[in-house]
Amino acid sequence: MNKFAVHTLFMAAVLLPVAAVADNHDPIAKRQALMEDTRDALRPLIGMTRGQVDFDAETVSNSLAVFATTAEQAPSLFPEGTETGGETEAKATIWSDRAGFEQGFVNFGEAVATAQAANIQSLDQLQPQLQGVLKTCRDCHDGYRVEKD
Amino acid sequence: MKKLLIIVVLVGVLAWWLSGPNGLDPDVVPAHSPDLANGERLFHAGGCASCHGRLEDGKPQRDVMAGGLVMNSPVGAFHVPNISPDPEQGIGAWSDLDFLNAMQRGLAPDGSHYYPAFPYTSYARMTASDLLDLKAYLDQLPADSNAVPDHGLGFPFNVRRGLGLWKRLFLDAAPVVTVPDGDDVLQRGRYLVEGPGHCGECHTPRNAAQALDLGRWLEGGPNPDGEGRVPGLTPARDAFADWSRDDIAYYLEAGVDPEFDVVGGTMAAVQANMSRLPAKDREAIAAYLKALQP
pLDDT class for B262, splitting at 50, 70, 90?
Answer: very high
Give chain B's mean pLDDT.
94
Residue A149 confidence (pLDDT): 57
Residues ≥6 apart with Cβ < 8 Å to B158: B76, B151
Interface test with B, best of A138, A139, A144, A148 (most B CBs within 10 A): A138
pTM over 0.90: no
**How close A27 gets to chain B, by Cα (Å)?**
20
Chain B residues closer than 8 Å to A148 by CB: 228-229
At residue B14, does pLDDT exceed 70? yes
Q: Looking at chain A, which residue has its C-alpha nearest residue B233?
A: A149
Burial B202-226 (b: 16+ CB within 10 A, else e): bbbbbeeebbbeeebbbbbbebbee
In DSSP notation, A79-97 reads: -TT-SSSTT--B-THHHHT
Q: Looking at chain B, which residue has its C-alpha nearest residue A44?
A: B260
Per DSSP, B242 falls in state: T
Q: Residue B274's Cα: distance from chain center in Å? A: 15
pLDDT tens-digit series, residues A83-127: 988 889 999 999 999 999 999 999 999 999 999 999 999 999 999
Specify whether the CB–CB gap between B23 and B120 falls below 8 A.
Answer: no
Give dist(CA B270, CA A51) in Å, integer: 25
Chain A touched by B222 (CB under 8 Å) = no
Q: What does R_g of chain B's alpha carbons equal in angstroms?
A: 20
pLDDT tens-digit series, residues B17-70: 888 888 999 988 998 999 999 999 999 999 999 999 999 988 899 999 999 999
**How close A56 gets to chain B, by Cα (Å)?**
18
3-class DSSP state of B24: coil
- Residue B226, by phi and psi: left (phi above 0), alpha (psi -120 to 50) or beta? left
Taking alpha carbons only, the member of A126, A137, A107, A104 closest to residue B256 is A137
Residues ≥6 apart with Cβ < 8 Å to B199: B193, B218, B233
Residue A13 confidence (pLDDT): 52
Taking an 8 Å cut-off on Cβ atoms, the answer to whether B229 and A145 are in contact is no
Burial classification of residue B7, based on how many CB atoms lie within 10 Å of its CB (0-12 exposed, 13-18 middle, 19 or more buried): exposed
**How close B237 gets to chain A, by Cα (Å)?**
9
Chain A residues closer than 8 Å to B255 by CB: 134, 138
B66-to-B124, B136, B143, B171 alpha-carbon distances in Å? 23, 17, 8, 27
Chain A touched by B28 (CB under 8 Å) = no
**For B264, which of A46, A100, A142 is closest by C-beta distance?**
A142
pLDDT class for A129, splitting at 50, 70, 90?
Answer: very high
Taking an 8 Å cut-off on Cβ atoms, the answer to whether A142 and B268 are in contact is yes
Residue A87 confidence (pLDDT): 85
Residue A11 confidence (pLDDT): 52
At residue B141, does pLDDT exceed 80? yes
In DSSP notation, A132-143 reads: HHHHHHHHHHHH
Chain A touched by B256 (CB under 8 Å) = yes
Taking an 8 Å cut-off on Cβ atoms, the answer to whether B260 and A43 are in contact is yes
Residue A147: CB atoms within 10 Å: 21
Specify whether the CB–CB gap between B217 and B294 falls below 8 A.
Answer: no
